[in-house]
Amino acid sequence: MKNNILNQKTEIFSEKKLDWIVIQSVMKNKFGKGIYESWIKKIEFINEFNDYILISVSTRFIRDWITSRYLDQILQIVKLYKKNVNRIEFIIKELEDNKIVQRQNEQEQSSETNANVSFIKDSYLQYNRIDPNKKFDNFILGFSNKLAYEASKKVSQDISHYNPLYIYGGVGMGKTHLLNAIGLSLKGKSKVMLISAERFMYQFVRSIKLNEMVKFKEYFRNTEVLLIDDIQFMNGKEAMQEEFFHTFNALLDKGSQIIISADRAPNKLSRIQDRIKSRFSGGLVVDIQSAEYDLRYKIVKAKSEELRIFNSGQIKISDETQKFISSEIKTNIRELTGALNRIASYSRIYNKEPNLSEVKIILKDLLNLSENKITIDLIQSNVCKFFKISKNEMLSPRRSRYLVRPRQVAIYLTKILTSKSLPEIGREFSNRDHTTIIHSVKTIEKLKNENSELSSNIDNLKNQILYIKQNEV
C-alpha cells in the first residue's frame, strides 16, 4: 500500500516538469546577454528530482565559475517554478567522456591474454589498477624524487633487491605513478598485482561475507610482485591488518617483492600494528619531498606540451604563464595539472590565450596570493586614484554621479577580489546596507556588458590591483 502511494506521488511529481526554456529566458533577462551567452547558455538541463535538479556543463572550470558567481541566483529562479527545489547538482561532460574512454580501454586491455601476469581480469577480484600511461619514461625527475625513482627502477630490474620497498610522500607527489611504472616494467616477467589498500579491504570483507577466504588468500599469496597503494587506509582495521600481516610474511618467505606507498613514514602511521610498521621499516624506506621550482617548471612545461598536442595546437600556454604557475603553486603535482587544465578551458571558451593578469583571476583559489595583500583599503585607494577623487569623497553619503560610479566600481572589485561577506563590505564603505552592496555589484555587471570603455577601465583596475610584485623567476 505504502509503495503504491509513493509511486502515485512520483507520478504526480513527474507530471509537473520544469520548463527549462522558460527558465533560460528568465536567466537571460536577469544576467544580461553577455553573461548568458558566455556562461549560462552552456548549462544543459538533465533531470529534476524531489528536492534538486541535475544539470550538465562541459568542464570543471565552467562548473566552478557558475557555482561561485551565479548558482544562488539560478536556484532562486528555479524555486519560482518549483518551490521544493533546494539544491542544484552538476554532471561534468568532460569527466563522463573520460569514463567512457577509460571503459573502452579497459575492455580492449581485457581482450589481451598474458599467462605470466596476474591481473586477474576475469576473476571476482577485478582489481587491476595499473595505468598504462604511467611509465618510468614519462616520470619527470627532480632532486626531490630522485631517490624514490632510482629505488623503483632498481626493483623493476632486480626483484627482491629492496624488499619491501616503502615509498612515502604527500598527496599528488608521484607515488602512484612509480607503483604503476614498476608494475608495467614487470608485466611480462612476473605475476604482478597492484591494488589500493582500500580495495584490499573491500575484497577482504567481501571474501568473509561470501565465505571465500581460501580463494582470497590463494590469489594474494601466489603473486610474485605485490604493489599496495595508500597503505595508511588500513588504519584501525584490526582483522584486515591481521590478514595482511600473514600475507606479507608469506610473500617475503617465498621471495616475492612487495612495494608499498603511503602518505607518511612507517613510524608515523597511526593505528597500524607495530609489527607491521616494523616490517615496513626493515626494507628500504624512501620519501618523495615537495617538488622544487625546477621540477615544477619541468612538469608544467611537459603538461603544457601535452595539452597543446591534445588540442591540435589550438591551446598555447605562454612561457611567462608556465613560470608563474611553477613559482606560485607549490603544494602538489595534481594542482599544477589542475591549474593548466583551467587555463586550457579558458582558452577553449574564449578562443584566446589569457594574459598573466587573467591567469591570476582564473587561478585565484589555487595561488599563494595572500588574501591580506588584496585589502579593501588597497582597492579603494586604487579606484580613487584612477577616478581622481579622494577617499573621503568616495566614502561620503553624497550621491553625485562622479562619486557614485567609482564607489560602485570599488564595491564590485571588493566583491570579486576578496572573500569578504556583503555586511563586511558594507561596513568598509561607511556602514552601507548589504542591499546597497548587491545593487552596486549588479549595476557594474550590467554596465560592463553595455559599456565597453567602462569594462576596459575596470579590467585595467583589476589587473593593477592583482599585480602584486612576485618573486622574480
Ordered by start, the domain boundaries in the chain are 2-94, 112-288, 293-362, 371-466
φ, ψ at 459 (rounded to 5°):
-60, -40
pLDDT-based confidence at residue 406 (cuts at 50, 70, 90) = very high
C-alpha cell belonging to residue 32:
544580461
The pLDDT, as a whole number, for residue 147 is: 92
Burial class (CB in 10 A: 0-12, 13-18, 19+), 363: buried
Residue the block writes with cell 548587491: 438
Grouping H, G, I as helix, E, B as strand and the rest as coil, residue 175 is helix
407 CB neighbour count, 10 Å cutoff: 25
Give me the percent of the chain exceeding a pLDDT of 70: 86
Q: CA torsion, points 202, 204, 205, 211, in degrees to nearest 10?
A: 140
- Among 326, 290, 289, smallest CA distance to 147 is for 289
- pTM of the entire predicted model: 0.53
Q: How confident is the model at residue 285 (pLDDT cuts 50, 70, 90)?
A: very high
Fold: same for 2-94 and 112-288: no
Q: Is the pLDDT of residue 13 over 90?
A: no
pLDDT (tens digit per residue) in 138-182:
888 888 889 999 999 988 887 767 888 999 988 788 898 999 999
Q: Say which CATH architecture domain 371-466 belongs to.
A: Orthogonal Bundle (1.10)
Rounded to an integer, what distance in angstroms lies between the CA atom of residue 238 and that of residue 332? 32
The closest of 275, 127, 119 to 195, measured between CA atoms, is 127
Per-residue pLDDT tens over the stretch 30-46? 888 878 887 888 888 88
Per-residue model confidence (pLDDT) at position 98: 52
Q: What is the mean pLDDT of the chain?
A: 80
* Percent of the chain whose predicted confidence (pLDDT) is above 90: 9
User: Cα separations (Å) of 51 from 84, 92, 379?
Assistant: 5, 20, 40
Please compute the mean of the pLDDT values over residues 335-351 and round it to a whole number. Answer: 85
Backbone angles phi, psi at 265, to 5 degrees: -65, 155
Instruction: Pick 2-94's CATH classification: 3.30.230.70, 1.10.3720.10, 3.40.50.970, 3.30.300.180.
Output: 3.30.300.180
- CB atoms near residue 88 (< 10 Å): 17
Residue 164, preceding peptide bond in cis (omega within 30° of 0): yes
Name the range with the highest mean pLDDT among 74-78, 259-263, 353-357, 431-435.
259-263
In this predicted model, which residue has the larger pLDDT, 16 or 26? 26
- Strands 257-262 and 225-229 come out as parallel
> Going by DSSP bridges, is the β-strand pair 44-48/165-169 parallel, antiparallel, or unpaired?
unpaired
Spelled out in words, what is the top-level CATH class assigned to the domain 112-288? alpha beta
Picking from 128-142, 231-245, 361-375, 400-414, which range would have the lowest pLDDT averaged per residue?
361-375
